[in-house]
Amino acid sequence: MTKPSGGSVDHGGSFPADQREIELGMNEQLVNDAVIRALAERGQIFDFGGALATVSTDNNDCSRRVIRRLPLPSLRELITDAVQFVTHDFDFNSGQRKRRVHRVPRWCYEAIHKRGVWHGIPAIRGIVNAPVMKADGSILQKTGFDVASGLYVDLDGDFPEIPGRPTAAAIRQAVESLLGIVADFPFSNPASRSAWIAAVLTPLAREAHDGATGPLFLIDANTRGSGKSLLADLAALIVTGREATRLVAPACDDEFRKRITALVSDGARLVLIDNVGGKFGCESIDAALTGTVWKDRRLGATEMIEAPLRVSWLASGNNVALAADTARRTCHIRLESPLENPEDRAGFRHPDVRRYVRENRPALLAAALTILAGYVAEGRPDQRLKPWGSFESWSDLVRGAIVWAGMADPGDTRFELRDTADSEAGALRQLLKAIVEIDSDGIGLRTTDLLKIANGKDQSYGRTESESLREAIEGFTELSIEKVTARKLGSRLGHFRSRVVEGLKLDIRIKSGSSYWVIQSGDGGSVDHSGSFFSGLQKTETEWEDSTKAEEGQKGSTEIHRSTIGHDLDWLEDSKL
Angle at Cα 333 formed by Cα 327 and Cα 337, nearest 5°?
125
Residue type at 405? A
The pLDDT of residue 524 is 55
Angle at Cα 476 formed by Cα 571 and Cα 414, nearest 5°?
120
Give the pLDDT of the chain (577 residues) as one tens digit per residue.
Answer: 454 444 333 333 444 556 889 999 889 999 999 999 999 998 889 998 888 999 988 777 777 788 888 999 999 999 999 999 998 776 666 666 778 888 899 999 999 999 989 999 999 988 998 899 998 899 998 889 999 889 999 987 788 888 889 999 999 999 999 999 999 999 999 999 999 999 999 999 999 999 999 999 999 998 888 899 999 999 999 999 999 999 998 888 999 999 999 898 877 889 999 999 878 889 999 999 999 999 888 766 667 778 889 899 999 999 888 877 888 899 999 999 888 888 878 888 899 999 999 999 999 999 999 999 999 999 999 999 999 999 999 999 999 999 999 999 999 998 777 666 556 677 888 899 899 889 888 889 999 999 999 999 988 888 888 988 999 898 888 788 999 999 999 988 888 888 888 788 888 888 888 889 999 876 655 555 444 333 333 344 444 445 444 444 443 433 333 333 333 333 333 333 3
Q: Say if residue 356 is in the same domain as residue 273.
A: yes
Distance in angstroms (rounded) separating the CA atoms of residues 306 and 289: 16
Nearest C-alpha neighbor of 22 from the set 41, 38, 1: 1
Distance in angstroms (rounded) separating the CA atoms of residues 21 and 24: 10
| Secondary structure letter of residue 556 according to DSSP | T
Q: Report yes or no: 20 and 82 within 8 Å, Cβ to Cβ.
A: yes
**Which residues contact residue 32 at a Cβ distance below 8 angstroms, ignoring those fewer than 6 apart?**
108, 111, 112, 115
| Secondary structure letter of residue 445 according to DSSP | B
Q: Say if residue 221 is in the same domain as residue 325.
A: yes
Q: Report yes or no: 442 and 432 within 8 Å, Cβ to Cβ.
A: no
Q: Is residue 156 part of a domain?
A: no
List residues bridging with 216 in a β-sheet: 330
Structural domains in the chain (count)? 3
The pLDDT of residue 259 is 92
Q: Say if residue 289 is in the same domain as residue 400.
A: yes
The pLDDT of residue 6 is 42
The pLDDT of residue 271 is 96
**How would you classify residue 134: left for phi > 0, otherwise alpha for psi between -120 and 50, otherwise beta?**
beta
Angstrom distances, CA of residue 212 to CA of 158, 203, 288, 378, 383: 30, 11, 9, 24, 20
Q: Is residue 129 part of a domain?
A: no
Angle formed by the axes of helices 361-377 and 168-180, to 10°? 140
| CB atoms inside a 10 Å sphere around CB 379 | 7
Nearest C-alpha neighbor of 504 from the set 407, 567, 439: 439
Tens digit of each residue's pLDDT (9 = 90 or more) over 128-163: 988 999 988 999 988 899 998 899 999 877 888 888
The pLDDT of residue 506 is 87
Q: Is residue 150 part of a domain?
A: no
Per-residue buried b or exposed e for 478-506, using 16+ beta carbons within 10 Å of the residue's own CB: eeebeebebbbbbbbbbebeeeebeebbb
Q: Is residue 563 part of a domain?
A: yes
The model's pTM: 0.72
Q: Say if residue 61 is in the same domain as residue 185.
A: no
Angstrom distances, CA of residue 225 to CA of 130, 188, 218, 230: 30, 15, 16, 10
The pLDDT of residue 527 is 56
Q: Which of 419, 448, 467 is the last residue of a domain?
A: 419
Distance in angstroms (rounded) separating the CA atoms of residues 240 and 132: 11
Domain residues for the domain of 359 are: 168-419
Query: End-to-end CA distance of the chain, in Å?
Result: 61
| CB atoms inside a 10 Å sphere around CB 468 | 20
> How do strand 321-322 and strand 279-280 relate by DSSP bridges?
parallel
Q: Say if residue 410 is in the same domain as residue 475.
A: no
Residues making up the chain, counted from first to last: 577
Q: Which of 97, 123, 149 is the last residue of a domain?
A: 123
Q: Say if residue 382 is in the same domain as residue 528.
A: no
List residues bridging with 349 in a β-sheet: none
Q: Is residue 338 part of a domain?
A: yes
Q: Say if residue 442 is in the same domain as residue 365.
A: no
List residues bridging with 29 in a β-sheet: none
Distance in angstroms (rounded) separating the CA atoms of residues 389 and 367: 28
Chain CA centroid to CA 474, Å = 31
Q: If you write DSSP's letter for every residue of 40-73 in order, what string do you get?
A: HHHT--EE-SSSEEEEEE-SS-TT-EEEEEPPHH
Q: Say if residue 270 is in the same domain as residue 360.
A: yes
Q: Say if residue 172 is in the same domain as residue 293.
A: yes
Beta-strand runs (E) in 198-347:
216-221, 245-248, 270-276, 279-280, 293-297, 304-308, 312-318, 321-322, 330-335
Q: Report yes or no: 264 and 305 within 8 Å, Cβ to Cβ.
A: yes
Q: Is residue 147 part of a domain?
A: no
Q: Is residue 131 part of a domain?
A: no
Q: Say if residue 344 is in the same domain as residue 408.
A: yes
CATH number at residue 412: 3.40.50.300
Q: Is residue 158 part of a domain?
A: no
Q: Say if residue 387 is in the same domain as residue 437.
A: no
Q: Say if residue 353 is in the same domain as residue 432.
A: no
Tell me how far apart the 2 most distant CA atoms of the chain are, in Å: 114
Q: Which of 89, 123, 157 is the last residue of a domain?
A: 123
Distance in angstroms (rounded) separating the CA atoms of residues 254 and 286: 13
